[in-house]
Amino acid sequence: MPSTPELVTAELGRAFSSTPQRASVTFLGVEPIDVLRFPVDGPDGPEVVFATVGCARHPMHDPSDPAPDPVRGPRAELVVRMRAVMPAPGLHRSLATVAAAPAVEGLVLAPDSLIDLGEPLWTGAICSAFLLEPDELADLELPEPSDPVQFLRAVPITANEAAWVRLKGADALREAWAEGDVDITDPRRGGVTPS
């Protein structure tokens, strides 16, 4: 039977119909996290999609749970969608760091989670945090009794935007993006300061 990472890799390959570049990132005491980079034809030109493989290897559990179920529990992989207008060196490592957090820190990744790394997500980036939301990729069903893998879109956001999420919530930031006509897929974008 294929492993969960093998099933995720196959599903991503079907979804994007292209051969990805693969980077493997290792963390002490944790199985490697792979980050796949897919070139995609977007509605406004070339795009690139980064997707993690390995986060969903095990279900996520609250670290205070004294006897976590090794099979049942939420599983997730992360997806970043960006316009291919400039390189983003180091983004794969930032994404892998978040994908490893459930195994390293007991973090449970879910929609509207704010993950602040406190440093640029890639070389030269103004963004230092990710805001998670459901991705357009459908959940990947796994053999029973495992829960499906949810693909969560990780949207790069600035420190000011992260502060706004803490203060007012994720939906308030999304409203500010909509009002400001902000293209969150553009790595060159400026931050918004919601009022």
The SS3 assignment for 81 reads strand
Residue 195 pLDDT class (50, 70, 90 cuts): low
Question: For 45, left (φ over 0), alpha (ψ -120 to 50), or beta?
Answer: left
Which residue pairs from 15-18 have beta carbons closer than 8 angstroms and sit at least 24 positions apart in sequence?
15/137, 16/40, 16/49
Residue 88 pLDDT class (50, 70, 90 cuts): very high
pLDDT at site 13? 95
Which residue pairs from 13-19 have beta carbons closer than 8 angstroms and sit at least 24 positions apart in sequence?
15/137, 16/40, 16/49
DSSP element (H, E) containing 152: strand 149-158
Question: Domain residue spans in the chain?
Answer: 4-179
pLDDT at site 40? 92
Residue in the block written with tokens 């919530």:
169
Per-residue tokens: 147: 């829960």
Q: What value does the mean pLDDT of the chain take?
A: 93
pTM: 0.94
User: If you average pLDDT over residues 37-44, what whole number do you get?
Assistant: 89
Residue 131 pLDDT class (50, 70, 90 cuts): very high
Residue 54 pLDDT class (50, 70, 90 cuts): very high
Of residues 165, 58, 157, 61, the one with CA closest to residue 117: 157
Residues in contact with 37: Cβ distance below 8 Å, sequence separation at least 6, in sequence order: 20, 21, 22, 23, 48, 49, 50, 92
pLDDT at site 31? 93
The SS3 assignment for 158 reads strand
